[in-house]
Amino acid sequence: MQVFKFGGVSVKDAISIKNVANILKNKANEQTVVVISAMGKMTNKLEELVNSYFYKSSDSLLIFQEIKDYHFNIIDQLFVNKDLLIVDEIENVFLEILWAIEEEPSNSYSFYYDQLVSQGEILSTKIISAYFNEIIISNKWIDARGIIQTDNSYREANVDYLLSKELTCNQIIPLLSNYNIIITQGFIGGTSENYTTTLGREGSDYTAALLAYFLDAKQIVIWKDVPGVLNADPKYFKNTKKIDELSYHDAIELTYFGTSVIHPKTIKPLQNKNIPLFVRSFLKPDDIGTVIKNINKRNTATSYIFKTDQLLISIQPKDFSFIAEENLSLIFSMFSKNNVRVNMMQNSAISFSVCIDNDKYKFDNLLLELQTQFKVLYNDNVQLMTIRNYNQETITKLSENKIILIEQRSRNNYQMVIKEME
């Protein structure tokens, strides 16, 4: 069997969903588990809803209605018969969302984030599953929250591998005897208390990799709007080049530094069972794309990874003591407690600098905790540039008209935190 993953762009509207249906008709000629994200930019829109609700803005009902109208507009375009069970199902999902935002917040931001934002995946998969059945692409919808079991680390949940594997095999394998296609959600999981969790932004890739691992899939295909893994993000760089194949090692390096095509946690479960990963274009589904597999050949192509909206934090002991093991241990425990991922780090005798994503809801809590023990300074609105397989000419060109706040290099990788000259 195989696992397919379709992201939000591939199911952003009725035309896109029909294109996915054609891909499944042509490519799902064997047992296929299909992992689908929220439609279009719905995760961003649902984040707006969470922020409005949690901080008691007056926009909550307006944002709610925009989300509802978006989904029902797609339903109107997909289904000829409007008197369908799916209409009632989607109405019920929105009724639950409405009830949730009418109550006073009584828990953490991250908790409400997961309960509300996760509904994007529920809505998209319910609609798409019903549409596929309508056009005689027989499939079975299942709820990922019942098979991907996690702890209570909301927004960055840790998966219980053993329990999730048991639940996945017990629920999906029997269904494959009656259905060639199983449709489920990426990005979301569930706790033992039946609360919803999420696996981190863009976590649908990780879900697909987990299911491939649990089910011993022969391959996983991630369908994107690009022809494969590129050496740079086309949003920031012209004349990008497709990388035809990557080793697991090179792929995990690129994802760690922030390559947007694949979620960082995706590679490990696939490498553990030697399952190849194909990144292919849903716009040109017959093209080969990029394959990530167990090969010894090292990728020597120069790759550029650009992360915007970063924070550069400088942490110093209040008593002028060294940044040594004891202080570092305390600092990292605070980062771990607040689920803050470090994108780059560097230390001197009495200062420890880190570059992180500018996530207000994580950083505010981290800053307050750090300030109890340390002096903390930070720069916002900075960018992190990583060059893999770099040379000095490339560094010079990319740092033109930039202020380099911090830099470091190893044998293969160069990183710099930069700020635009004013």
DSSP symbol at 158: P
**What is the reported pLDDT for 83?**
66
* pLDDT mean across residues, the chain: 93
pLDDT at 115 over 90: yes
* Domain region containing 106: 2-224
Q: 409 in a domain, yes or no?
A: yes
**What is the reported pLDDT for 82?**
67
Asked if 198 and 315 sit in the same domain, the reply is no
| Cβ-defined contacts of 392-398 (< 8 Å, 24+) | 394/302, 398/304
Number of domains in the chain: 2
Distance from C-alpha of 77 to C-alpha of 83, rounded to nearest angstrom: 14
CATH of the domain at 401: 3.30.2130.10
CATH of the domain at 72: 3.40.1160.10
Q: 126 in a domain, yes or no?
A: yes
Q: Find the radius of gyration of the CA atoms of the chain.
A: 22
- Contact present, 331 and 352 (Cβ < 8 Å): yes
pLDDT at 178 over 90: yes
Q: 287 in a domain, yes or no?
A: no
Q: 277 in a domain, yes or no?
A: no
Mean pLDDT of 172-198: 96
Asked if 10 and 125 sit in the same domain, the reply is yes
pLDDT at 270 over 80: yes
Residues 6+ apart with CB under 8 A from 377: 313, 314, 316
Asked if 62 and 198 sit in the same domain, the reply is yes
- Contact present, 248 and 290 (Cβ < 8 Å): no
- Contact present, 132 and 181 (Cβ < 8 Å): yes
Q: 353 in a domain, yes or no?
A: yes
Angle subtended at Cα 231 by Cα 225 and Cα 236, rounded to the nearest 5 degrees: 70
Task: Report the residue count for the chain.
Answer: 422
Mean pLDDT of 83-100: 92
Q: How confident is the model at residue 160 (pLDDT cuts 50, 70, 90)?
A: very high
pTM of the entire predicted model:
0.90
Last residue of a domain, one of 161, 193, 224: 224
Cross-strand partners of 385 = 306, 416
pLDDT digits (tens, 9 = 90+) for 366-386: 999 999 999 999 999 999 999
**What is the reported pLDDT for 420?**
87
DSSP symbol at 19: H
Q: 209 in a domain, yes or no?
A: yes
Sort strands 181-185 and 139-141 into parallel, antiparallel or unpaired. parallel
Last residue of a domain, one of 224, 249, 272: 224
Last residue of a domain, one of 198, 224, 250: 224
Q: 63 in a domain, yes or no?
A: yes
Mean pLDDT of 193-208: 93
Residue with tokens 């004349």: 239
Q: Which of 7-11, 279-283, 418-422 has the lowest mean pLDDT?
A: 418-422
Q: 250 in a domain, yes or no?
A: no
Q: How confident is the model at residue 48 (pLDDT cuts 50, 70, 90)?
A: very high
Q: Which residue spans within 225-335 are E strands per DSSP? A: 245-247, 277-281, 290-293, 303-317
Distance from C-alpha of 203 to C-alpha of 186, rounded to nearest angstrom: 7
Asked if 61 and 154 sit in the same domain, the reply is yes
Asked if 33 and 147 sit in the same domain, the reply is yes
Mean pLDDT of 195-222: 95
Instruction: For the chain, give the percent of residues with pLDDT over 70.
Output: 100
pLDDT digits (tens, 9 = 90+) for 13-29: 999 999 999 999 999 98
